[in-house]
Chains A and B, each alone.
Chain A
Amino acid sequence: MTTPASGSQTISETGSSLMAPLFALWGPAYHSQFSQVTLSTASSSSGVGISSAAAGTTNIGASDAYLSPADMAKYTTLENIPLAVAALMVVYNLPSVPASTNLKLNGTVLAKIYSGKITKWNDPAITALNPGVTLPSASIVLVHRADSSGSTFLFTSYMNAQDPTDWSSSLIGTTVAWPKQPGEIGATGSGGIVSSVKTTPDSISYVGVSYLSKVTAAKEGEAAVGNASGSFVLPNTATIDAALSAFTSTPANEAISLINGSGAQAYPIINYEYAIVNTSQSSTTLAQDLQAFLYWAVTSGTTQLASVNFQPLPASVVTLSEAQIAKISG
C-alpha cells in the first residue's frame, strides 16, 4: 500500500481552508515523486469536505473536525484519518496595540465577548488579564465564519470547555447560532477571516495556524490563549507538543477532541487535521493510489508540515491512521 499503481491517476481533494495550504504543498511534492499521480486540490470548508466525501464527489475530503456520531452512523463506509496536527489562533485588529504585544485572552472572556456580555475592548475583564496594556474604549467587532467551518468547531469547543455557562454545548459545531451582535461579520473561508479582520478595526476572530504568515503580513495581532492550567500561550512546536502529550488514548476511529488539554505549557486549541475518505472505492487501482498517497502523507509528507506551522502526528496515532488507511479497498 506504499506505492501507487503505474497508471495515471488524478486524486481530488476539497474541504478545510485551514488545511488547504498544506495540500497545496503536498500536491506538487507527491507528483514529483510519483509522476503518474496528480492531486487536484480545492480550498472550501470542512463542511464541504465532509459532505463531498459523503456524496462521493471528491476522493479526499479535508476537515478540521472529525465526523459526528450521526454522520458516522449515516455514512458507514466513511472514515476520518488524521494526517497532521494543527492549532487555531485567536486574532484581532487593534491599531493602537503594537503587534509585539500578544493580548491575553481566555475561553471565559472570549465566550463573554462572543455572547455579547463583553462589548468594549477596555472591559474590566479584558484589562484585568492584560495589565500594562492600554486598550481602546472601542466596541468589539465580532468576525466569525459564515460557512460550515472546522475552525468554528474548534473555537466554539474551546469556549465551551472553558466556560460552559456562557457558551453552552448546543453552540458547538461547524455552523452555530452566533448570538447577535451589532456589526458582526460572517466571512467565508480562512482567507476571508484574515481579510475581514484586516479591513475592520477593533475586530476579533479565529483562524488556523496555517495562516500565520498572512496574519502577520496583515499586521493583525495574535492572542496568547489561556489554557486549562491558567497560563497564556502562543501556538508553537513546544506548546502544541505539550498539549498533544495530554491526550494519550486516541480511539481506533480517531474521532477525538484535543481541546483544552492539561499541562502548564499546553496550547488549548489544537486538533487533528482529517482526511475524510470512503473505505469502499470504485476501483482497486483508485483504492491503491489513495492508500499510497495517504500513507505518504503521514510518513514522508511530514517534511512539508513546518511550512504551514503544523506538527506531525505522534507515532501511536500514525499507527492508528495506517490501520484506517489499510481499510480502503476497491
Chain B
Amino acid sequence: MTASAPVVRPEGGAGQDPLPRRAVAALRAGIRNGQALRWTGAVGAVIPALALAFVLVVLVIKGWPAFRIDGWSFFSSKAWSQGNQYALKPEIKNGYELPPGAAYGALPLIVGTLATSLIALIIAVPVSVGTALAIVERLPRRLAYAVGLFLEVLAGMPSVIIGLFGAVTLGPIVAHDIAPYVARNVPDVPVLSYFAGKTGSGYGLLTSGLVLSLMVIPIIAATTRDLVRQVPILPREGALALGMSDAQTARRVTLPWVGAGIVGSVVLGLGRALGETIAVAMVCGASFGSFPSNLYDTMITAAAAIVLTLEAALTDATGYALSVLAEIGLVLMVITLLTNIGARLLVRRVSSTALPVGAGI
C-alpha cells in the first residue's frame, strides 16, 4: 500500500455503534468518572474572567480615540457638547476626527455618581441596620416574616418601577413638601448652604439619592438581618444579665460582632448605587456639563449619561461621541473596582480585631 492510498475509515459500519450512540456512551462514561464535571467546572471558571477581559478590551479599543483626543483633561473637564453635527468638515485632533466644537469632560459625571451614592448610603445604612435589628430582636415572628418578605420583594423589584415611582410620586413630594421646608429652615452656615436655595422641580440630586436608597436598603437590610441572626445568644444574654438595655446590647455586642459583614453588605449596596442606570436617568433631570448648585438641583451620573446619550452618540458620524461613552464606561468600571478593593481592605481591618464585644465598656 502506497502512502497516497486513501485510508478507509469505518463510519458506523458493522461491528461498531453509530456515532450518536458512541457520543452518548462517551458522555455517560465521562459523567461517571467525573471528567465531564471537571471540564464544565473549568469552562465555568474561565468564562467570567474571559467576559470581564472581553468587556475591558472592547471598552479600551472603543474609548481609545476619545482618550487620544482629550488626554487626561477628560477627567478634570466639565465640558459636554456634541459639537456642530451639521458642519461641512470634521475637525482633526491628534489624528482623530471630531465634530467642530465637540468637547466632553467626565468630572460632573464622576461627582454626580459619587454624590448620589453617598446620599443613598447616608439614608440607607441606619435604616437598614435598624430594620435588621427590629426583624431579629423586636418584631413578633409573623410580622418579622412579613417585613422580611417585603424586603426581598423590594430587592427583586425592577429598577424601572422604582424610577417610575421616583419620577411620578417621590419627585413631586420632594419638590412641594420636603425641599421647600428644608431650604426655608436651614441656618445660614457655610456647609449647610448646600441645603438652601432654589428647590427645583423634583428632578435632581436629592430625588436620585432617595430613589437609590430605596434600592440599597433591601440589600443591606437583608444581609445584616442574616448576620445578626448568627450572633450567638450567649454573649447577648450575658449583656442583658449585666443589666444592659436592649439598645446597649445591640450597640456593644450584636453590631460589633457582625461589623465586618455589615461593611461588606454596605459595599454590595454601594455597587448597586454606583451602577444604577435607568431609575436615576428617570429622576436626575439630565443636566450635563456642570455640578449641581445645591441638593435639589438637576444633575447627571455616569451610568445615566451613557443611557441618555447613546442614541445621540450614534448619530455622530465621526464616532467621537461613542468613543467618549466607552471611556465613561471604563471610568465607571474603575470606580466600582476601586470601591471593591477599598471595601476588601476595610473588611480585613474591621475583622482583624477579633470579637470586639464589649469594647469601651
Interface residues of A (CB under 8 A from B): 44-45, 47-48, 50-51, 54-55, 68-71, 73-75, 139, 141, 146-148, 169-178, 180, 182-188, 196, 199-200, 203
User: Is A177's CB under 8 angstroms from B289's CB?
Assistant: yes
Residues of A within 8 A of B318 (CB): 70
User: Is B82's CB under 8 angstroms from A69's CB?
Assistant: no
Identify B298's interface contact among A70, A176, A186, CB under 8 A: A186
Residues of B within 8 A of A187 (CB): 286
Q: Which residue of B has the minimal Cβ distance to A66?
A: B86
Say if the beta carbon of B290 comes within 8 Å of chain A: yes
Given A169-B84, A173-B86, A185–B317 Cβ distance below 8 Å?
Answer: no
Could you pull out 22 A-B pairs where Cβ atoms are within 8 angstroms? A47-B312, A47-B315, A51-B311, A54-B315, A68-B85, A69-B86, A69-B88, A70-B87, A70-B90, A70-B318, A73-B317, A148-B309, A148-B311, A170-B101, A177-B79, A177-B288, A182-B293, A185-B286, A186-B285, A196-B201, A199-B201, A200-B201
Q: Which residue of B has the minimal Cβ distance to A48?
A: B311
Residues of A within 8 A of B64 (CB): none
What is the CA–CA distance of A45 and B314 in the complex, to the nearest angstrom?
12
User: Is A139's CB under 8 angstroms from B198's CB?
Assistant: yes
Smallest CB separation, A170 vs chain B (Å): 3
Identify A180's interface contact among B86, B197, B200, B289, CB under 8 A: B289
What is the CA–CA distance of A139 and B311 in the complex, to the nearest angstrom?
32
User: Is A51's CB under 8 angstroms from B286's CB?
Assistant: no
What is the CA–CA distance of A280 and B317 in the complex, to the nearest angstrom?
20
What is the CA–CA distance of A175 and B99 in the complex, to the nearest angstrom?
13
Identify A174's interface contact among B85, B286, B289, B290, CB under 8 A: B85
Q: Which residue of A has the minimal Cβ distance to B199?
A: A183
Residues of B within 8 A of A196 (CB): 201
User: Is A147's CB under 8 angstroms from B101's CB?
Assistant: no
User: Is A177's CB under 8 angstroms from B82's CB?
Assistant: yes
User: Is A180's CB under 8 angstroms from B290's CB?
Assistant: yes
CB proximity to A under 8 Å, residues B42-96: 79-88, 90
Q: Which residue of B has the minimal Cβ distance to A180?
A: B290
Residues of B within 8 A of A44 (CB): 311
User: Is A186's CB under 8 angstroms from B287's CB?
Assistant: yes
User: Is B203's CB under 8 angstroms from A175's CB?
Assistant: no
What is the CA–CA distance of A9 and B308 in the complex, to the nearest angstrom?
32
CB proximity to A under 8 Å, residues B85-125: 85-88, 90, 99-101, 103
Residues of B within 8 A of A70 (CB): 85, 87, 90, 99, 317-318
User: Is A176's CB under 8 angstroms from B82's CB?
Assistant: yes
Residues of B within 8 A of A141 (CB): 201
User: Is A175's CB under 8 angstroms from B82's CB?
Assistant: yes
User: Is B286's CB under 8 angstroms from A176's CB?
Assistant: no
Residues 195-214 of chain B: 1 if any A CB is under 8 Å from the residue's CB, otherwise 0? 00110111110000000000
User: Is B298's CB under 8 angstroms from A184's CB?
Assistant: yes
What is the CA–CA distance of A146 and B167 in the complex, to the nearest angstrom?
15
